[in-house]
Amino acid sequence: MTNPPAKRSLGEQVRDARIEHKLSLRELAKRIGRAPSYINDIEHDRRTPSEEVLAEIAEQLSLDIDLLLAAAGRVSGESQNYLQENPTAGVLFRRVSNAGLSHQDLSRLLEEADSLIDKRDNPSDDQT
């Protein structure tokens, strides 16, 4: 997983990626079936789109949906279910939130989580 951008709003991330992909506002809007004014509102942080729209934008602009959801202040429905089914995950989130960790600390924690996931998904790598 990519480290989250520090202090970049959802709109900034979408606008920068759209420009990087050399897409006009109208073209992106057309690709995801929305009005150009809707995309403009997102890019200027006047509107927070649904998870579905964020997923469409992420796909079109090759962005990480998790980072877009985070920038929008949302968690996926899947993540909400996970938090409900695994109370320890909620405790971890609350502790991290209450501690006010820095961007650098959060990036290190994210790297550690990715490492744990990789070890779980590739157990044979541990036996080298």
Contact between 42 and 49 (Cβ < 8 Å): yes
SS (HEC) of 31-76: HHCCCHHHHHHHHCCCCCCCHHHHHHHHHHHCCCHHHHHHHCCCCC
Residue 95: its pLDDT value, please?
A: 92
What is the pTM assigned to this prediction?
Answer: 0.71
pLDDT tens digits in sequence order for the chain, 128 residues long: 444 455 789 999 999 999 999 999 999 999 999 999 999 999 999 999 999 999 999 999 999 998 899 899 888 888 889 999 999 998 998 999 899 888 899 889 999 999 999 999 988 765 55
- Cα 65 from chain centroid (whole Å): 4
The DSSP element (H or E) to which 2 belongs, if any, is none
pLDDT at 3: 45
